[in-house]
Structure 1
Amino acid sequence: MTRQALKFGRPGRVGLCLGALLLSWLPAAAQGRLDAQYEATLAGIPVGKGSWTIEVGDDQFSATASGGTSGLLNAIAGGSGNGTSQGRVVNGALIATNFVGSTTTYRKSETIHITLANGNVKEFNIDPQPPVDPGRLPVPDAHRRGVFDPMTGSILRVPGTIDPLSPEACHSSAAVFDGRMRYDLKLDFKRIETVRTERGYRGPVLVCAIYFVPLSGYIPDRPVIKYLIAQRNMEVSFAPLPGTRILVPYRLVIPTPLGTAMLEATTFVTQLLPPRVAKTQ
């Protein structure tokens, strides 16, 4: 692997981009749980592993993900990260109140905190505070309203009464603020296919194209930003959470100059949670 390839594919930055491109859509009300394991590959070579747990109750939800590089990439330029989002379930929507995401690479470690209220960012900070980059576009106050944090936003809600695995479910877009950058992610229908997980889900998935549209908080001259903006072959596959109108990312595919980058579930186990019994006097 060349030095130029390593610069483009640095695990901290690429990992954040892969995680961010797991999209942002509000889910419907449900009471269910997902326990999933994922493997990341680059040109067919394993480069990382991760896990993701989502639990949605009748009035609260939580989502937790973690992952890191593995194999040869870990020996050359290791990295790891984790994220957690918590909030309330209100009228069928997941309303995040807190998000925390941490990343560690061979160069640095940082933690991002975001506090939200009804989709509006109330507070956010990056620890340690990064140096000011004159090339980074500012984020106006308006771009921190009506947004989703990256973790809560990783789930696709299918509104109305249409089939959650129908082409219409891909006709969606989302506004995301990740603590540093504000961007839109747009979906379009590609196809429906069948998958067989090593453990857990076997059945149809909804495959949508992804289009990345940064609005503020980014550095326009960065090669990875230019590359993602120009991409027209990225896609995400969604699998259903039974008993709900929620679809969860099952596979993410991003072409790169080094080969196809893929994040795919190896374990995708779902279960329905019993409704909470109200306390009586």
Structure 2
Amino acid sequence: MKASRHFCNWMLMAACVAGATGMVGGAAHAAQIYKSEYRVSLYGLTIARASFSTNVSDSRAYEVNGKLMSSGLGSLFDDTSGTLDAKGQYSEAGPVPGSYVVKYKHGKRNKTTTIAFANGNVTSTVNVPPIKKKSNWVELKPDDLKSVADPLSGVMVAADSLDQICSKTLHMYDGQTRIDLKLSPESKPQPFATDGFKGDAITCSAKFVPISGYQSGRKAIEYLKNSSRISMTFASLGKSGIYSPVQAKIGTQIGTVSVYATRFEKTQ
């Protein structure tokens, strides 16, 4: 089934969006540990589950370790599993990534992507196996890899209040494709609750803008760019000033993929 080939991409994207939630407390100055779990669903049926452990040191360095695996409906199409690891440092302006590694197995295929950063700029990218560039490929330019973040750190938003979040543009790079997510207001702040968290959250619409590192004209990209409806609900733990998604919905050609934080709590 053609649609099944896209399951891995949607699940990884969804997990990246959700996994950053565990980092919201990082602006504090004491060592902290967070545990979080997420459900990824399609048509209301679970297709994947993800779990993350986040450590924030007293020097404001963060490290996120995540696991993802297909579940329920997703297991009927493809056996997918993966790990995601991100490291960086918090600054007054928000997270500054240092490294990002994603490894996943999709059926019998294995892929690893490693990205290194310095001062907010990409210094190296290694993909195993290498990316196969097809016709109409939009090449990455040097400036495209400046002032960007990985998909985990990239959805962390530094703001003084919830009302400021939906005016932001998020600049992200996943090791192949450079995109912008342009946020815009969708609703006023509303209560949000899940296991370990209760507080206010705000939902933003997100416009997917491909910059480079992709095949122009590819149906999946064109759909995300021109037809997809993407929303992201942001919340913050305490008074950290760092907001991240606790819920997301991503419109794809095979339906809307939803991500929901079923657990988010500080364990230390």
TM-score, scaled relative to structure 2: 0.87
Q: Which amino acid aligns with 2:107?
A: Y
1:23 deviates by 11
- Residue 102 to residue 73, structure 1, CA distance change in 2 (3 Å): same
In 1, the alpha carbon distance for the partners of 2:80 and 2:237 equals: 30
1:263 deviates by 0.6
**1:196 correspondence with 2:197:** no
Residue 38 of structure 1 is matched in structure 2 by: 38
Residue 154 of structure 1 is matched in structure 2 by: 155
In proportion to residue count, which structure has more helix? Answer: 2
Matches within 5 A, 1:1-281: 3-7=1-5, 10-19=6-15, 29-31=27-29, 32-59=32-59, 60-91=61-92, 93-158=94-159, 162=160, 164-165=161-162, 167-191=163-187, 192-197=189-194, 199-231=195-227, 233-270=229-266
Render the CA deviation track for 1:153-186: whole Å, top value 9, x for unaligned.
131211xxx4x22x22211012111111111111
For 2:155, what is the secondary structure of its paired residue?
Answer: coil
For 2:9, what is the secondary structure of its paired residue?
Answer: helix
1:217 deviates by 0.3
Render the CA deviation track for 1:11-49: whole Å, top value 9, x for unaligned.
22222343466699x987324443210001101011110
In 2, the alpha carbon distance for the partners of 1:22 and 1:195 equals: 15
**Does structure 2 retain, via aligned residues, the 8 Å contact 1:22–1:236?**
no
Once superposed, what is the RMSD of the aligned Cα atoms?
Answer: 2.4
In 2, the alpha carbon distance for the partners of 1:213 and 1:42 equals: 23
Render the CA deviation track for 1:217-245: whole Å, top value 9, x for unaligned.
01122221111101363101112122311
In 2, the alpha carbon distance for the partners of 1:99 and 1:181 equals: 14
1:149 deviates by 1.5
Q: Which amino acid aligns with 2:173?
A: F
Render the CA deviation track for 1:55-89: whole Å, top value 9, x for unaligned.
33342111222211101321321212221111233
1:92 deviates by 5.6
Q: Which amino acid aligns with 2:44?
A: G
Which range is displaced more, 54-63 or 213-222?
54-63
In 1, the alpha carbon distance for the partners of 2:227 and 2:249 equals: 11
- Residue 216 to residue 77, structure 1, CA distance change in 2 (3 Å): same
In 2, the alpha carbon distance for the partners of 1:23 and 1:67 equals: 10
Residue 276 of structure 1 is matched in structure 2 by: none
What are the ranges of 5 or more consecutive residues in structure 1 without an aligned counterpart? Answer: 274-281
Q: Which amino acid aligns with 1:195?
A: F
**Does structure 1 retain, via aligned residues, the 8 Å contact 2:18–2:259?**
no
What are the ranges of 5 or more consecutive residues in structure 2 without an aligned counterpart? Answer: none
In 1, the alpha carbon distance for the partners of 2:181 and 2:15 equals: 13
If you compute each CA radius of gyration, which structure gives the higher value, 1 or 2?
1
Quote the sequence identity (%).
25
In 1, the alpha carbon distance for the partners of 2:37 and 2:214 equals: 30
Equivalences, count: 261
1:103 deviates by 1.9
**Does structure 1 retain, via aligned residues, the 8 Å contact 2:228–2:252?**
no
TM-score, scaled relative to structure 1: 0.83
In 1, the alpha carbon distance for the partners of 2:253 and 2:228 equals: 14
- Residue 92 to residue 173, structure 1, CA distance change in 2 (3 Å): closer
In 1, the alpha carbon distance for the partners of 2:106 and 2:256 equals: 22
Render the CA deviation track for 1:182-230: whole Å, top value 9, x for unaligned.
1111111112222331x21123211111111001001122221111101
